[in-house]
Structure 1
Amino acid sequence: AASPAPSWVILGSVPRVLSAADANADLPPGPGAADFSLALPAPPRVALLTIPPRIFPCRTTPENFPSVLAADPSAGLLLLHADQGRATGPTIIDTPGHQEFSWRPLVAGYFVLDAAAASALPLPKPELIAHPGHLGLVASPVGEGYMVAELQPFLGGDTAYLLRFSSQVGEWVSKSVGYPLPARPLSPNGVVACSGRLWWVDLSWCLLTCDPFADAPALDVVPLPDGKALKSKEAWGLLDKYRCVGVSAGKLRFVDMYRNRNSNGAAQISVWTLADYP
């Protein structure tokens, strides 16, 4: 009998990309074929997502590689960023409230992966996504389906756009929402799904949360624990090595690792759990 799946796993954020020869052997193309594979070893071993070149056709480099942006384990869903090769022309966006003509070096690609079906759904119009670090995925808390959403704030503004893709609708819809934070860049430290909501994480400042399924989504601010907020851009690019926000046992938790100056520099790990919200 097969071993039962572990109750939790450590998922590597950078998938393995098969060569064309390996892809034909391990993930055969064609209708009904698996789009990816995902082994789930018991922790502390790292689970690794494997994708074929038809999902990521580029050569993997330190500057261009696929990455898992978000996950909702409650539904076995992953959100994958995988660019689709060099751009051969300009990016043109012409939607109500958003017109853009720009040159981007790569053709963006985003996929929703369903672990149960081993299927990868490419999201339409990936050029509408402004920053993958503000893109999240959450399963519907009632019934089937999911929502992919990106928060697009404007520095100094009191409104932001919430760009939403519903699996039930099948297209992107942009919604203006009130933005409750003062003028300061929101660090793109990822988006977490918990309790049917999305949580935009700034490891130096706070969390923003909303119900993306609501007809009129409203953003709420959840501050970090006392004494943990930093100045704007303080430890920029380093905090994700020492801090994280994630879900454990159904609860949202903030983890901070630091050096204790009173214990010969020994590492200290503190964990805070958010009380039931709201």
Structure 2
Amino acid sequence: MAYLMIAFAATMWGLIGFFVKGLSEIGYSAMEIVTIRVGTAAIMLLIVGLSFFRAQLKIKFRDVPLFIGTGLLSIVFFNWCYFTAIEKTNIPVAAALLYTSPAFVITLSVLFLKEKLNFRKLLAVGGTIIGSALVAEITLTQGSSFSFSSIFIGLGAGLGYALYSIFGKVALRTYHPFALTFYTFLTAALFLVPSFIGKPHTNLLFQPEVFLYAVGLGLVPTVLAYFAYSWGLEQVESSRAAIIATVEPVAATILGVMVYLEKISFIQGMGIVLILASVILVNLPKGKYRIKNKNHEKSAPS
């Protein structure tokens, strides 16, 4: 169930393009959309928290840095790096750099969370990175014209994306998944929303179309997705969770086909297969073999 919840979260993240596309066509900038996302999510989570999770909302002051880590160092920093990388490179390259995050998660998990490193995880990380690049249709020469700083910022997006799994895993040792989700977006909203108030597009939020997009963005790929991911992360290694979450570009590609009638190329199809195979690989149970004394035959995996 924990693995399914993480996969569900990644699928919800993959639907974000629908809401972002709608808001950007209305005239909102990338960072304004991020602000709308965290602001609406914080309001929704506050209402739900006061109604159903009051006991879980109590935190200790000494643990505030954990939520600064998930809210500012992950959500805000990751979005800034990602959108800056898109401006300096292009969407496919930025997306491929973003999905280096499992490599960061595995490295940080081994160093700080004492998780075990094995060949299967390394193989799965390689598969997800290559698969994400194929889904984004990256070629070997596509990144050659980009500056080192733009590539570095793109990798920063991958690091910021990964930090949610690291800080979140530590916070979940003490707090409920709902508390992690709520304080993450409350912290991000307190940082971003003040800069949004008073801008020309602020009043547009009360128009029916914009309001529906904003609520959908705050609910589907944010509140539902992050709560599901946090719930799964509580029970799964950070490194495995990060690899499973790479089904997001698969979901985004399928959304493009079903809603916007986009076509999947052969290269993208190969990338989807590679990502799914990597996710399956990291979650396969370890096989144990016995050798019979006389016939030296291997028994079936147990």
Structure with greater contact order relative to length (CA < 8 Å, sep ≥ 6): 2
Instruction: Considering fraction of residues, name the structure with more strand.
Output: 1
Would you call these one fold, judging by a TM-score over 0.5?
A: no
Q: If the length of structure 1 is used for normalisation, what is the TM-score?
A: 0.24
